[in-house]
Structure formats: structure tokens, C-alpha cells
């Protein structure tokens, strides 16, 4: 198949144009569309190095066009003529004038063919040289009587053959008369003079669905032949060899000066890759939407370049808002954060942006639509550009209000117990200095102890009835992570861990949770830090091996208790067990 543009002889005037009688038919003159001569069309850069040869080169020489470019082109010239011919070629290129040159070209069989080379300089709008274009023709194919070759036709054929878009034309009777190289590459078939009724069958033309054959009246070229101006009509081409192609066809009728329709022409733009990218993008978007619908937590996607943000509907509904009631931007988030928490939340963001922290994590309060506040655990990660600058952040918002309220209640009870103990100690000390009031003070102490006992029982009832798992550990050695012994476990802890813990009171943590000790030593260090600093800490998610062999992912929080003790509150995450 030749990839250069082809214009076969005009069809017989016996066929009539659709909608016209045969008496009105005017044969198409080859120069009115393109007179594609059987020549090699070549292109060179501004230095004269060959960068393109049309497919007829292989017909002339037997060598592949792609393997005859640049320096390889001169390997195809007779060895004894290379030096002189190359010098003449370079001289012509320096003069920037049209030229003709004869070369003896070596064929694959070892024989030589005499070739006439014609070249024309290409210039930009400022008349600066940008390259060369021309033709090569076997000397024995030239007409002896012809005084000169119509180089303009050669040039037009070369132009069409080097267009990236496909070109297809037909005459007034609906018979194909021209296709360029791009069109032939899409169809993977040689050009053939066929009527409109055979176009779809020969070239495998389909509607965009790739299933329904394109009828003649639906073909953009035929529609243009009937006088329509067609713009971006989508057609699928399914060649027998090679993958399908989706093209956009735009065309118009070819009208002579006297107003007669001579034929039609369409331009084919191959959008196969664009359609593939659009399909992949659509599938990715569908997967993203399914993930959003299935996620229990709120999701945010923040562009740090435009300051625009995507806040999922669950993100807004957690706070009681509808989709349109919160601005999708950083300011929309900022306006809802509790003023007392805003500085710490912003500091956590800044630390992550500066890569001081690999992940963003922060706890803060956010204002609900009804004016109340909820505690939110925000986690996310940043996408960075080639220079390491943050450009996008993706993350989750999780409502941790129940956990925070439980922590606050336990902290208040702890403070109350500490206060009672301190008061009791003070009263006993005072009793030692006041012997005369010893009996009365002892009675008072007993009463206070009863009150404390009642409060302790109340505390135990609360702990035993909350749905959050609660364990109390006592460290016998603040320098060792394995020195924690179990002091207390509530029923919720036994239920979540699926094990009896009451008979393990007094056991070391390594005996109770050997898998956890082995896999999470950093969390044990964190427990020691909570005791030392007397500050609560969110320990994040941890995978716990259950007695059944399954694992459960729990969200852990630690808070300090008196006498080298630490409490751990936990509850399952959304995807708790594996």
C-alpha cells in the first residue's frame, strides 16, 4: 500500500451525481483535488538532512523509508558518487534556491536506478529557512517529450501526505477519488475507487457504539456530497488488522466557480487516545464516587494551588449541614473550627507541610449547624510537586465526640477522687496534732471513706456500663515497657477483645496480650510517656489478635491515673475485624 496521496483517473461520466442527472455531471480534473504523481516525496531539515521519505521510496529501492533517513540516505547512493553528490546537495541547501539533481540509487538487488531529485526551500513568515521539501522520480518514468514537470502538483501531494489528519474525497457521483497517508494508516487498507454504497463495508465504518454499521446516508462524506457542512461527526473505524479508531469527521462539498458540485471532502481527526483517556477518567470518577458513598467518615480533597476543596456530603452531614451550606474551600473549614482549637489545628497542618510530620493528624472541635460543637479527628496526607512543594491534600474527618466525652468524664471523676484523697490526708494529719479531737476526726474520716467508697462504686458502675472498652494498667517499673500489670477491665473490654479478663487481674501485659507487646513496642513506650507527662494521648489504630485467631482494629486513647497507673479507652474502627 502506498502512503502517498493518490488521485486515480476520473470515473466514467456514465455515473450520475445524487440528486442530479447525468447531463449535468462534470468530470473532476485531477488538479482540482490533487494530482498525486508516482514520485517519492521527501522532506529535510534546514541543514539538508533527510527526515521523511514517502512510502514509494521502498517501491523504488526496496529499502524501508524509516531505515533510509539522515546519514542512512547516503548509504543508498552509489559509492563512487556519494562525495560529489553530497557536496552538490549541501551547496544547494546553502544557496536556498530550488534545485534539481541526478543520483544513482542502489536497489536491494545490487542494481542502480537513475533518480531525478527536485527540491524546494521552506521558509517561515520572516523568510527564514526552516527546511526543504521535494520529490524523487525514476528517470526512465519521465516523459521524454515533457518540457518540464509540474512541480506544484508534486508539492501539493507532499503537503497532503505529511498532514497528521486524514483527508478523504469523492467525486460528484460518490466514488472515492483521494485518500492521504494518514487515512490509509487509520484504515490499514489500500485506496480503492468504490461507490458510496461500498464505503462502510470496505473500510469497516461504524457508529460511535462500534456495533452498528454506518449507513450511507449517515456517512459524513456522503452528507457533505449532498450539500451539508458536517462538523465533528464521530465515526468508529474497525480495521481487520489493528485496533479500532475513533475519528471526528468534518467536511464540505467541493463547489466549482459556476456553482456546480464537483464532489466532497472530509478531514478525519483521530481521537482514539482522547476517548480512551476520557473513558479511564470516567471509570476513575465512578470508583471515587462509590468510595465516597461507602465511606462512613467525611472525606476532604483540598487543592493548595487554587484553595478550592471538595468536602464530601458525609463530611458536612456529620455537622448537620446540607451540601450547599458549607463553602468548598479552606475558609469553609476554618470558619467552623472552634476558635480555641484553630491555632493548634493550623500548627499541625504547617508541620505536615514542612515535612516535619509524615502524616497530618489533629483533634479539634467544629461547630454544628445547631450551634453545638463536635470533636473531630482529622487525618490526611499531602501530594507534592517535583520540587517537594505541597499542592494537594486528601484526608478524612472522624467524629470522636463520644470518646472525648467519655475521656472528660473519666478525667473529672479522677480529679474528684484525687481531691477526696487529698482532703482525707489533710484531715488525718490535722488529727495527729489535735489529740482531743481524735475520736471525732476518726468518725469524720470513716464517713468520708464511706462517701469515697460510694463514689468508687458509682465510678465502677459507670465504667462497667459504658460501651467503650476500658483497661487500667499499673507500671511497677517506669523504665520498662513490660512492667505493666492489669488492675481493672470493664465488660466492654472483655466483649471487644473476646476474652475473660477478670481472672488475668495482676498479670503482666506480656502475658495478657503477647502479640500486642511484640508488634507494638512504641505504643508501650507511649503509655510510659503518658504516666510521666500526665497528659492524655491519642494512640491511633492498632490491630489486636483475638483468641479466635482473627484480628480486630481498635482506636486507642491513653490517659494518666494516679499512682503510676494509666487508663486505655478503645473502640472498634469502621472496619474493625479481619
Tens of pLDDT, residue by residue over 400-427, are 888 888 888 888 888 888 888 777 777 7
Q: Quick one: which H or E segment has residue 529?
A: helix 521-533
Pairwise CA distance, residues 475 & 528, whole Å: 8
Mean pLDDT in residue range 513-539: 88
Mean pLDDT in residue range 481-505: 89
* CATH number for the segment(s) 467-577: 3.30.450.20
Amino acid 452: pLDDT: 62
Higher pLDDT, 14 or 362: 362
Does the pLDDT value for residue 144 go beyond 50?
no
Pairwise CA distance, residues 530 & 532, whole Å: 6
Does the pLDDT value for residue 85 go beyond 60?
yes
Using CA atoms in the order 2, 78, 67, 100, what is the torsion angle rounded to 10 degrees? -60
Amino acid 15: pLDDT: 42
Per-residue pLDDT band for 7 (boundaries 50, 70, 90) equals very low
Residue 18's contacts (CB-CB under 8 Å, 6 or more residues apart) are: 173, 174, 225, 226
Higher pLDDT, 452 or 318: 318
Give DSSP secondary structure letters for 264-317: EEEEEEE-HHHHHHHHHHHHHHHHHHHHHHH-SSEEEEEETTT-BEEE-HHHHH
Pairwise CA distance, residues 59 & 487, whole Å: 93
Higher pLDDT, 503 or 15: 503
Mean model confidence pLDDT for the chain: 81
Pairwise CA distance, residues 552 & 497, whole Å: 8
Amino acid 152: pLDDT: 57
Per-residue pLDDT band for 454 (boundaries 50, 70, 90) equals low
Does the pLDDT value for residue 3 go beyond 70?
no
216, 197 in Cβ contact below 8 A? yes
CA 532-534-538 angle, 5° bins: 100
Mean pLDDT in residue range 558-567: 90
Q: Give the residues across from 100 on adjacent strands.
A: 118
Q: Hey, where are the domains in the chain?
A: 40-149, 165-274, 295-399, 403-452, 467-577
Does the pLDDT value for residue 25 go beyond 70?
no
In this predicted model, what pLDDT tens digit does every residue of 259-306 receive, in sequence order? 888 899 999 999 988 888 888 877 766 666 666 555 556 888 888 888
- The percent of residues above 70 in pLDDT, for the chain, comes to 83
In this predicted model, what pLDDT tens digit does every residue of 149-170 receive, in sequence order? 445 556 777 778 788 899 999 9
Higher pLDDT, 3 or 351: 351
In this predicted model, what pLDDT tens digit does every residue of 333-392 receive, in sequence order? 889 999 999 999 999 999 999 988 888 999 999 999 999 999 999 988 888 888 889 988
Does pTM surpass 0.75? Answer: no
Q: Is 3.30.70.20 the CATH number for 165-274?
A: no
Amino acid 57: pLDDT: 83
Q: Which residue has the cell 518540457?
A: 147
Does the pLDDT value for residue 464 go beyond 80?
no
Closest to 33 in 3D by CA, of 254, 297, 220 = 254
Mean pLDDT in residue range 19-27: 45
Amino acid 347: pLDDT: 92
Mean pLDDT in residue range 526-542: 89
Amino acid 441: pLDDT: 65
Common-topology check for domains 40-149 and 295-399: yes
Q: Provide the 10 A C-beta neighbour count for residue 28.
A: 24
Does the pLDDT value for residue 99 go beyond 70?
yes
Integer distance in angstroms from the first to the last C-alpha of the chain? Answer: 61
Mean pLDDT in residue range 127-139: 84
Q: Residue 95 CA to chain centroid, in angstroms? A: 51
Higher pLDDT, 9 or 85: 85
460, 562 in Cβ contact below 8 A? no
In this predicted model, what pLDDT tens digit does every residue of 62-79 receive, in sequence order? 888 888 899 999 988 888
In this predicted model, what pLDDT tens digit does every residue of 111-120 receive, in sequence order? 878 888 888 8
Least confident residue range of 189-193, 196-200, 357-361:
189-193
Amino acid 288: pLDDT: 64
In this predicted model, what pLDDT tens digit does every residue of 220-246 receive, in sequence order? 999 999 999 999 999 999 998 889 999
Per-residue pLDDT band for 515 (boundaries 50, 70, 90) equals confident
Amino acid 290: pLDDT: 64
CA 278-279-285 angle, 5° bins: 90
Fold held by 40-149? Beta-Lactamase (3.30.450)
Please identify, in words, the CATH class of the domain defined by 295-399: alpha beta
Mean pLDDT in residue range 307-335: 87
Amino acid at each position: 500500500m502506498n502512503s502517498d496521496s493518490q488521485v486515480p483517473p476520473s470515473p466514467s461520466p456514465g455515473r450520475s451525481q445524487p440528486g442530479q442527472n447525468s447531463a449535468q455531471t462534470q468530470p473532476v480534473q485531477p488538479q482540482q483535488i490533487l494530482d498525486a504523481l508516482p514520485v517519492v516525496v521527501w522532506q529535510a531539515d534546514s541543514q539538508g538532512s533527510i527526515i521523511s521519505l514517502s512510502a514509494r521510496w521502498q517501491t523504488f529501492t526496496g529499502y524501508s523509508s524509516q531505515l533510509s533517513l539522515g546519514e542512512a540516505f547516503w548509504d543508498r547512493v552509489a559509492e563512487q558518487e556519494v562525495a560529489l553528490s553530497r557536496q552538490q546537495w549541501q551547496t544547494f541547501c546553502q544557496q536556498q534556491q530550488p534545485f534539481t539533481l541526478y543520483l544513482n540509487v542502489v536497489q536491494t538487488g545490487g542494481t542502480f536506478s537513475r533518480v531525478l531529485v527536485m527540491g524546494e526551500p521552506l521558509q517561515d513568515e520572516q523568510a527564514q529557512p526552516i527546511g526543504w521539501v521535494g520529490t524523487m522520480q525514476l528517470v526512465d518514468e519521465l516523459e521524454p517529450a515533457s518540457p518540464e514537470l509540474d512541480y506544484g502538483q508534486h508539492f501539493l501531494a507532499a503537503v497532503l501526505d505529511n498532514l497528521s489528519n486524514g483527508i478523504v474525497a469523492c467525486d460528484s457521483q460518490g466514488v472515492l477519488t483521494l485518500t492521504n497517508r494518514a487515512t490509509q494508516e487509520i484504515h490499514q487498507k489500500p485506496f480503492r475507487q468504490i461507490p458510496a454504497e461500498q464505503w462502510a463495508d470496505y473500510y469497516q465504518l461504524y457508529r460511535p457504539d462500534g456495533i452498528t454499521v454506518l449507513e450511507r446516508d449517515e456517512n459524513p462524506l456522503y452528507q457533505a456530497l449532498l450539500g451539508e457542512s458536517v462538523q465533528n461527526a464521530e465515526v468508529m473505524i474497525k480495521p481487520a488488522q489493528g485496533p479500532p479508531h475513533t475519528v471526528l469527521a468534518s467536511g464540505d462539498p467541493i463547489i466549482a466557480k459556476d456553482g456546480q458540485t464537483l464532489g466532497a471532502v472530509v478531514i478525519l481527526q483521530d481521537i482514539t487516545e482522547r476517548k480512551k483517556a476520557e473513558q479511564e477518567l470516567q471509570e476513575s470518577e465512578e470508583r471515587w464516587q462509590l468510595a465516597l458513598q461507602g465511606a462512613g467518615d467525611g472525606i476532604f480533597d483540598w487543592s493548595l494551588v487554587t484553595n478550592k476543596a471538595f468536602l464530601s456530603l458525609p463530611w458536612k452531614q456529620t455537622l448537620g449541614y446540607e451540601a450547599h451550606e458549607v463553602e468548598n474551600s479552606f475558609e469553609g473549614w476554618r470558619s467552623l473550627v472552634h476558635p480555641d482549637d484553630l491555632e493548634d489545628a493550623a500548627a499541625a497542618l504547617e508541620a505536615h507541610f514542612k515535612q516535619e510530620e509524615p502524616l497530618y493528624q489533629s483533634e479539634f472541635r467544629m461547630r454544628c449547624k445547631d450551634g453545638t460543637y463536635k470533636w473531630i479527628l482529622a487525618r490526611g496526607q499531602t501530594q507534592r510537586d517535583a520540587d517537594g512543594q505541597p499542592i494537594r491534600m486528601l484526608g478524612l474527618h472522624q467524629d470522636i465526640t463520644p470518646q472525648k466525652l467519655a475521656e472528660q468524664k473519666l478525667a473529672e471523676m479522677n480529679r474528684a477522687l484525687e481531691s477526696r484523697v487529698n482532703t482525707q490526708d489533710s484531715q488525718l494529719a490535722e488529727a495527729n496534732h489535735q489529740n482531743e479531737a481524735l475520736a471525732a476526726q476518726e468518725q469524720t474520716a470513716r464517713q468520708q471513706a464511706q462517701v469515697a467508697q460510694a463514689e468508687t462504686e458509682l465510678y465502677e458502675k459507670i465504667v462497667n456500663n459504658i460501651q467503650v472498652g476500658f483497661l487500667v494498667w499499673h507500671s511497677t517499673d517506669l523504665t520498662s515497657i513490660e512492667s505493666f500489670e492489669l488492675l481493672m477491665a470493664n465488660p466492654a473490654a472483655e466483649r471487644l477483645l473476646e476474652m475473660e479478663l477478670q481472672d488475668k487481674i495482676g498479670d503482666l501485659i506480656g502475658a495478657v496480650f503477647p502479640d500486642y507487646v511484640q508488634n507494638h513496642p512504641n505504643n508501650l513506650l507511649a503509655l510510659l510517656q503518658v504516666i510521666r507527662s500526665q497528659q492524655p494521648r491519642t494512640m491511633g489504630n492498632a490491630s489486636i489478635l483475638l483468641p479466635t485467631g482473627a484480628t480486630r482494629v481498635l482506636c486507642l486513647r491513653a490517659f494518666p491515673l494516679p499512682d503510676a497507673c494509666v487508663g486505655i479507652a478503645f473502640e472498634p474502627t469502621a472496619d474493625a475485624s479481619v
